[in-house]
Structure formats: C-alpha cells, structure tokens
A = this chain, B = another copy of it.
C-alpha cells in the first residue's frame, strides 16, 4: 500500500486531536483512503513544549519547511487567521500539495485566490470543518444538492452565541450575566467580540452563500449585527409570543435573483426546527426547490468534532491522490449580485415605550403607513408611564423599516424605541 506523507500547521485544541487520531486510527484510515497516512511534521510556535500524545520528533518551528517539503503530499492547516496561514497554504498548493483547512476567516476573505492556486496546481482544497464543525454541511451543499436549486440557507453556526441566548431563554438572564457564565465554562473567549458581534458567523455565512448559490461571496458582502444589544426584556417578549431569539446566518435568493447574506439576531417560532437547537449546538436549515426543507444538526466546534471533519476531508483528498480525480473546484459561474441590506425583506417586531393616552395607536400606525410598512398585529401591555406597544409587521424591506423607526423616535407620544428585531422562518 502506498504511503502519503502528511504535514500539519498548528497543534492547538484541534491539531492535537488530529495528531492523536491519525496515530490511533492509522489502520482504519489507511483502509479507507487506500494509502497509509503518515503524519511526518507539525509546525508549532514553540517546538520545545511537550504535547500529550504527539512525538516530540514531529514538531518544528519552521512552518515553511512543511509547505516546501517535496516529500509531503498533504497539508492540514489549523493555525487559523489570515497571516501566516494564507501564504503557507498558497505555497503548499503551488507546490502540488492538497490542503485541508478549517480556516473560515481566510476562506471568506481570500477563497477565490486559494481556489485559483489549487486549480492551477490541480490539487484539492477542502474545508468541511470551516463551517459548523463536525456537521457535514459543505459537502452536502456542494455535492449532494448540486443537482437542485438552493433557495435559502439559515444556520445557527456559532456555538458561543447560541449558548448565551439559550441561557437567556432558560433563566431570563441578562446578556452580560449569560456571557460571564459562558466565559467561566469555556464556551466564550475572554475577548468574545468575534463571536458575539457576529464576525465568526459572518465568515461562515459567506462560505455557505458561495456554495449554495454558485457565486462568489466574501465576508465583506455579509451584513452583520451581533447579539450584545439583546436584552432580557426582548427574550421575555419572544417567549410570551412563543418564539425564541437566535443568532442566524442567512443566505437567500431575493425575488430579483440577487444573494442576500446576513448575520443578525432574529425571532423564530418555537415550532421551527432551529428553535430546538440549544446550548452550543449548531444546525443549518436548507430549503431547496426540489428537495424541500432539510436540517443538519450537531456539534459546531471543539477539538474532536472539528478533527472528525478534517480527517474526513483528508481521506477524500488522499483517495484522489491514489485514484486520480479531484474534488469540486470553485463554482462561481452564476455570478450573482449581492443584495443591499436596505432591499432585504423580512418581518419585524418592534417594541415601543409610549404614553398611555388616546390617539397613541393612531399616531404610531400613521408612521408605519407613511412608509408602506404593513402592520400584522399590535399588542399593548402595561399602562400609564410603563405602557408598551409591541408591533409585528408584515414582510417589509429594511430601508422602509429603518425610515419608520427613525420617525417613530421623533414621535412625541413615543418615549423610546426599546427594540427592533427581525422575525425569520415565515414568509
């Protein structure tokens, strides 16, 4: 049996699991790939640091030595970030090595350049682990559903924010307290901004959108709002309306055939399949023209789940080295426009603090009507100083809604626009 030599860039939480599994499952992986997969070198920052289960002889400080080593056939990249990962991957591809990576930020920003390098060298670039960890979602989108027309992808793709929102929903906790709990338990980093402000989910949304619609989508194309402004009051109102707030990554085709791609918190019905995705779990809900509605659910992060996705890709690219052939290249033939957020249509829930006196509803309704935003339901709670109007709109475009909110803020009877939240999962 042939032996393929594997080099790895990085040996953190994911890398150390990959190294462990490559050694522990050597014989199964060989039978499945049709070749022995021999881990020969791992680039780390400090090669003198001992790592459990990783032979010290495999460690090197010199990442370039791996991507330039003519003996190495396959490269795994789990450093993350743009620099130096980008140059290392480009060099590996140029040198004829197939690359497996989990680097969502890099793919969302420089995917086209990486794909072009892989194509030029006729090698594979695989990255199932970049979105939703162990859940197979990229292969289903770019292979299983390739004979269909995807209409919409709607995912819970960030475990940290889903954990925080789950705790807010379960305990009525404030955002800051739920974040602190998540940090204490290791579900959120000490600087949580990449997660809670939606940057991580936005990179994943760009990757999902590109694959779903066969068009080039980068992180800059993604409209993004995080969850840091979600309050316990928002969660309470959602609950009362039998809905739940989730941070959603949405990629959909507009009626005009453009791609709308965005990450923001949104209300969904508790009966929607995504509503039952709790704690740090991830799930991606896909709607396609012929296949209908599908959902893919599982663990979105963690060392072992991410390692599972990377090893699945490694076996695939190894099979290609053994048997010939190559995986799907970048598919961007559709070349669709990116829809501006102002043109994106959805429903909204708006909470207003108002004076409890006659004529308030009339004034508020007038503002909505003046921007052609149609109201589905209005509910008033409280009385006197604490009166609150909860307005649910029909589907409206974002620019009309924003103009409505601006005018509501200037309306004398409105003390405060307490919150504006999108409602997804219904048409």
Residues of A whose CB lies within 8 Å of any CB of B are 17, 21, 25, 28-29, 31-32, 128, 133-136, 139-140, 143-149, 214, 273, 276, 288-299, 302, 304-305, 307-316, 319-320, 323-326, 328, 331, 333-334
Q: How far is the CA of A128 from the CA of B128 in the complex (A)?
A: 19
A171 to B293, CA, bound (A): 25
Complex formed: what's the CA distance from A143 to B319 in Å? 10
Contact B147 A29 (CB under 8 A): yes
Q: From A304, which residue of chain B is reached at the shortest CB distance? A: B290
Nearest 9 pairs of A and B residues by beta carbon? A325-B325, A147-B311, A136-B144, A294-B298, A134-B291, A290-B308, A136-B140, A291-B308, A290-B304
Name the residue among A134, A290, A313, A325 with the largest chain B CB count within 10 angstroms.
Answer: A290
A312 and B29 within 8 A (CB): no
Q: Which residues of B contact A293 (CB under 8 A)?
A: 298-299
Task: State the CA gap A276–B297 with chains docked (Å).
Answer: 13
Q: Which residues of B contact A298 (CB under 8 A)?
A: 291-295
| Smallest beta-carbon distance A200→chain B, Å | 20
A233 to chain B, nearest CB (A): 28
A326–B323 CB distance below 8 A = yes
Q: How far is the CB of A58 from chain B (nearest CB, A)?
A: 19
Contacts of A148 on B, CB cut-off 8 Å? Answer: 134, 308, 311-312
Give the distance in Å from the alpha carbon of A320 to the alpha carbon of B302 in the complex: 34
Q: Do the beta carbons of A307 and B324 come within 8 Å of each other?
A: no
Question: Which chain B residue lies CB-closest to A320?
Answer: B325
Report B-chain residues with C-beta under 8 Å of the C-beta of A326: 323-325
Tell me if B313 and A147 are in contact (CB < 8 A).
yes
* Count of this chain's copies in the oligomeric assembly: 2
Find A291's partner among B144, B294, B309, B328 (CB 8 Å cutoff): B309
Contact A32 B290 (CB under 8 A): no
Measured between C-beta atoms, what is the minimum distance from A214 to chain B in Å?
7
Residues on B with beta carbons closer than 8 Å to the beta carbon of A319: 328
A359 to chain B, nearest CB (A): 46
Q: Given A32-B146, A312-B145, A294 and B292 touching (CB < 8 A)?
A: no
CB of B21 within 8 A of CB of A290, answer yes
- Beta-carbon nearest neighbor of A122 in chain B: B323
Indicate if the CB atoms of A145 and B149 lie closer than 8 Å: no
**Distance between Cα atoms of A134 and B288 in the complex (Å):** 10
A316 touches B140 (CB 8 A): no
Can you give 6 A-B contacts (C-beta < 8 A)? A145-B308, A147-B311, A292-B304, A296-B296, A324-B325, A324-B326
Name the contact of A147 in the complex, choosing from B143, B146, B289, B308 (C-beta under 8 A): B308
Also in contact, A292 and B134, with CB within 8 A (given A273-B297, A312-B144): yes
Q: Which residue on B lies nearest to A146, using beta carbons?
A: B315
A41 vs B64: C-alpha distance in the bound complex, in angstroms? 54
In the bound assembly, the distance between CA atoms of A297 and B98 in angstroms comes to 32
Given contacts A136-B144, A146-B311, 13 further A-B pairs with CB under 8 A are A21-B147, A29-B147, A32-B146, A32-B147, A134-B288, A146-B312, A147-B311, A273-B276, A273-B297, A290-B307, A290-B308, A292-B298, A292-B305
